[in-house]
Amino acid sequence: MTDTLVEMRDIRIEGRADETWMPIIKGVDLTLKKGEVLGLIGESGAGKSTLGLAAMGFCRDGVRIAGGSVSFDGIDLLAASAEQKRRLLGKRIAYVAQSAAASFNPAHKLIDQHVEAPVQHGVMARAESEQDGIELYRKLRLPNPDEIGFRYPHQVSGGQLQRAMTAMAMACRPDLIIFDEPTTALDVTTQIEVLASIRQIVEEFDTAAIYITHDLAVVAQMADRIKVLLRGDEVEEADTREMLSHPKQDYTKSLWAVREFQRPPKPPVAEDATPVVSVQGVTAAYGKIDVLHNVSFDIHEGRTVAVVGESGSGKSTTARVITGLLPPRMGGIELDGEALPPDYRQRSKDQLRQVQMIYQMADTALNPRKTVGEIVGRPVEFYMGLRGRKKRDRVAQLLDQIELPAGEFIDRLPSEMSGGQKQRIGIARALAAEPKFIICDEVTSALDQLVAEGILKLLARLQDELKLSYMFITHDLATVRSIADEVVVMKDGEVVEQGPKLDMFRPPHHAYTDLLLSSVPEMDPDWLTNLLAERGVDNLGDAAVDKMG
């Protein structure tokens, strides 16, 4: 009796693009023992999800397994008939999808979807399975476990749905569960509950799992072993602790190093210095509902203020008020000590020039029909009045500043560049206006870690060279740690706490800041265990947030 559960040999998977088959996975081996958790990590496009699904013998439309073998507990999945595979899925192999909200059928109650697999596979009778479901909900610490199953998916929050889906995967007590980025769409404080639930239940039932994610710190908490993928190839594989302490390959090392980038602290700002931008008592509303309440903070020359908060905390709304897209109901914005008109249409060309913006999604921030030369050249022409040769020279100089070779990029369209390059063009467009102040709205959150680090370093260098001030909107505390001078923590449209970065990361602080900070996963594999011990089981997630009101 062998204890190997999944065995993949030299698996090759192809996807269809433009009528031809392109390789997605280029010959990867994977072995999973019973009861073991394997973490699959890699950047977007590394083929993690495809590989995870292939372990179930499943391919999405337009994808095919071109070679190799997959066996599950001695069953050759590639040779098995559709009917044979169907009998395994759900019963012995289960799947937890990235977006629980989309993966639950909106037309049926949670419990009906929960009992479907056990009843259909003949594992349990309906009543028994329903009882078991409620028991699982209780184990996963869902609120009102007796009732929550009788709700429809849209009546339950995202973090709870994700736990309900984990419960559903457990319904038949499978031997293997594939977790496909189950916490990516969640806020950090919610993420931690889901992580704790998953880990607990996987340990309790001794289920083997493949945990797919792009977040190193998360995988460090969950996995016994880690396998790193890069563009369809395996980079390396090792036990979690070994991998964290002694990565062998350069690529893995660079991934680890990202987390360590940090700027030296700057001297404090002089007491009497006029801030570049001053947000003064801003209250703003969409329609009749106030979404910002009396928000005030200053941003000084050459400094970075990070505005931190979870989704819906009012970070982006603050940016809209500063740019003039959303005139505030009360309060105002000062630029260099002078009040700015509330609406951008009333601001002068020079005032508009001074405040620039870099967007989260480079895809929607650059006009797909314009070349780099046109995109970066337009503000040069519009504000500086440069034309023809002079304009082209200036664009080349700007591209040089963002470390892209001008000759190669000036005539490219956005679709011909990678995500990081597009983000750099966005930066160049902001620089072209020669502003004093730039708002960076989640500029790194759509990028892979290595690329994101490059962008952060570039922004830091530009700040030193050009004496720029940044307002850095982010939900990622690692980013805050690496680039911010000062931090503003927001929640529900209010500033909860603000101050220099070093003070913020040193206790004591506001309860919410504390929760936020402690919820960010760290690379230490014992972090989650320690944290749970520290907080106590009752003090997790929802409960903790509720307590603060």
Q: Degrees (nearest 5) of the Cα angle 136, 138, 139?
A: 65
| Rounded Cα gap, residues 297 and 44, in angstroms | 36
Min separation Cβ 167 and other proteins, Å: 13
Contacting other proteins (CB under 8 A), which of 1, 270, 337, 349? 349
The answer to whether the beta carbons of residues 520 and 188 sit under 8 Å apart is yes
Phi, psi of 521 (to 5 degrees): -60, 145
Residues 44-73 close enough to bind other proteins by CB under 8 A: 56, 58, 60-61
Q: Which x/- pattern over 166-185 shows residues binding other proteins (rule: CB under 8 A)?
A: --x-----------------
Of 287 and 368, nearer to other proteins (C-beta) is: 368
How, if at all, do strands 486-491 and 304-308 pair?
Answer: parallel
Q: Which of 80, 103, 85 is nearest to 169 (CA)?
A: 103
Judged by CB under 8 A, the stretch of 283-291, 377-385, 484-492, 510-518 that binds other proteins is 377-385
Residues 379-398 close enough to bind other proteins by CB under 8 A: 379, 382-383
Of 25 and 432, nearer to other proteins (C-beta) is: 432
Judged by CB under 8 A, the stretch of 130-138, 299-307, 347-355, 464-472 that binds other proteins is 347-355
Number of residues engaging other proteins in binding (CB under 8 A): 58
Of 128 and 242, nearer to other proteins (C-beta) is: 128
The answer to whether the beta carbons of residues 456 and 275 sit under 8 Å apart is no
Judged by CB under 8 A, the stretch of 245-253, 329-337, 365-373, 476-484 that binds other proteins is 365-373
| Rounded Cα gap, residues 327 and 343, in angstroms | 5
How far is Cα of residue 524 from the mean position of the Cα atoms in its chain?
19
Min separation Cβ 365 and other proteins, Å: 4
Of 151 and 214, nearer to other proteins (C-beta) is: 151
Min separation Cβ 215 and other proteins, Å: 21
Q: Which x/- pattern over 79-118 shows residues binding other proteins (rule: CB under 8 A)?
A: --xxx--xxxxxx--xx-x-x--xxxxxxx-------xx-
Min separation Cβ 229 and other proteins, Å: 21
| Rounded Cα gap, residues 163 and 170, in angstroms | 11
Instruction: Quickly count: other Cβ atoms within 10 Å of residue 248's Cβ.
Output: 12
* Residue that the structure tokens 């009396």 belong to: 294
Of 106 and 268, nearer to other proteins (C-beta) is: 106
Of 89 and 543, nearer to other proteins (C-beta) is: 89
How far is Cα of residue 314 from the mean position of the Cα atoms in its chain?
18
Judged by CB under 8 A, the stretch of 202-210, 273-281, 348-356, 508-516 that binds other proteins is 348-356
Query: What is the DSSP annotation of 165-206?
Result: HHHHHHTT--SEEEEESTTTTS-HHHHHHHHHHHHHHHHHTT
Told to check if 378 binds other proteins by CB under 8 A, we report yes
**Burial of 1 from C-beta contacts in 10 A (0-12 / 13-18 / 19+):** exposed
Q: Which x/- pattern over 9-48 shows residues binding other proteins (rule: CB under 8 A)?
A: ---------xx-----------------------------
Phi, psi of 350 (to 5 degrees): -70, -40
Contacts 24+ apart (CB under 8 A), 261-266: 261/453, 261/456, 261/457, 261/482, 262/481, 262/482, 263/460, 263/482, 263/483, 265/485, 265/501, 265/502, 266/302, 266/303, 266/485
Of 198 and 365, nearer to other proteins (C-beta) is: 365
Of 380 and 516, nearer to other proteins (C-beta) is: 380
Min separation Cβ 154 and other proteins, Å: 5
Of 349 and 506, nearer to other proteins (C-beta) is: 349
Told to check if 126 binds other proteins by CB under 8 A, we report no
Judged by CB under 8 A, the stretch of 141-149, 267-275, 289-297, 317-325 that binds other proteins is 317-325
Q: Which x/- pattern over 425-444 shows residues binding other proteins (rule: CB under 8 A)?
A: ----x---x-----------
In 109-265, alpha helices (H): 110-120, 126-139, 145-148, 158-170, 188-204, 216-222, 240-245, 250-258
Residues 456-495 close enough to bind other proteins by CB under 8 A: none
Of 100 and 487, nearer to other proteins (C-beta) is: 100
Q: Which two tokens stand for residue 96?
A: 């937890």
The answer to whether the beta carbons of residues 474 and 459 sit under 8 Å apart is no
Exposure letters 214-223 (e unless 16+ CB within 10 A, then b): bbbbbbbbbb
Q: 34: phi > 0 → left, psi -120 to 50 → alpha, else beta; which? A: beta
Min separation Cβ 191 and other proteins, Å: 20
Query: What is the chain's percent helix, strand, coil content, to nearest 5?
Result: 40, 25, 35
Give the N- to C-terminal CA distance of the chain in Å, as an integer: 55
Of 54 and 196, nearer to other proteins (C-beta) is: 54
Interacting residue ranges for other proteins, rule: CB under 8 A: 18-19, 56, 58, 60-61, 81-83, 86-91, 94-95, 97, 99, 102-108, 116-117, 120-121, 152, 154-155, 168, 323-325, 344, 347, 349, 352, 355, 357, 359, 361, 364-370, 378-379, 382-383, 429, 433
